[in-house]
A and B are shown apart, each in its own frame.
Chain A
Amino acid sequence: DAGVIQSPRHEVTEMGQEVTLRCKPISGHDYLFWYRQTMMRGLELLIYFNNNVPIDDSGMPEDRFSAKMPNASFSTLKIQPSEPRDSAVYFCASSFIYKGNTGELFFGEGSRLTVL
């Protein structure tokens, strides 16, 4: 398997523009996570899905952020409008339940977002 695939790897945009980040999880994994990583705040969970259904979106900073998972092989994280404080590395990860515990999280390589 190719692992978790994220695109784009790098995105530079201007404040106010819409940003869409994409993720293809590992086939067979039924959990998908979106994280944001910054030096100041570390790795923050934004939202996660189980079987394509959002389970917890309490980490989504505000209404400018939205995430969808229309099917088991694709998810998007959208920021509209983007602001400079959204600059961060955004990771997608997928996982499964193993012996009743959360299994290994497989992370993508991340999407580095810079909002000018």
Chain B
Amino acid sequence: TQLLEQSPQFLSIQEGENLTVYCNSSSVFSSLQWYRQEPGEGPVLLVTVVTGGEVKKLKRLTFQFGDARKDSSLHITAAQPGDTGLYLCAGDSKADRGSTLGRLYFGRGTQLTVWP
């Protein structure tokens, strides 16, 4: 069972289109990270969101953390072929005593392909 569900699993669009991918859970996370992975490489961090309702922008990418810190979304405006990759969300949870477990729970990812 995946703690974090990402949708859609696959997305194929034309250059210039907008898109949103989702990361949902029934669990609360103390923070959430988004990574992008390109073929033959390891995932690379895009952003970390910590506060419920937080919105962060990275050029054409907009990340939002849900108010209840159970979900997140990534919106890309005017997608470009260079945005092609696997987008992974990962949540950080805390132990009962409040300290982080030191590990992240990854979703299965959204494979995005942007055609020129």
Contact = CB atoms under 8 A, between A and B. Distances in A.
Q: How large is the interface on A (under 10, 10 to 19, 20 to 34, 35 or more residues)?
A: 20 to 34
Contacts of B101: 102
Interface string A90-115: 01010101001110110111100000
B44 A107 contact: yes
B50 interface: yes
Interface stretch (A42-50, A62-70, A75-83): A42-50
Q: How large is the interface on B (under 10, 10 to 19, 20 to 34, 35 or more residues)?
A: 20 to 34
Residue with the highest number of chain B CB atoms closer than 10 Å, among A43, A48, A107, A110: A43
Contacts of A4: 42
B34 to A, nearest CB: 11
Given A43-B88, A100-B99, A110-B42, A105 B107 contact: no
A97 B45 contact: no
Interface string B47-69: 01010000000000000000000
Nearest to A98: B48
B106 interface: yes
Contacts of B109: 42-43
Nearest 5 pairs between A and B by C-beta? A107-B42, A42-B108, A102-B92, A101-B31, A104-B45
Given A42-B108, A42-B109, A43-B109, A102 B102 contact: yes
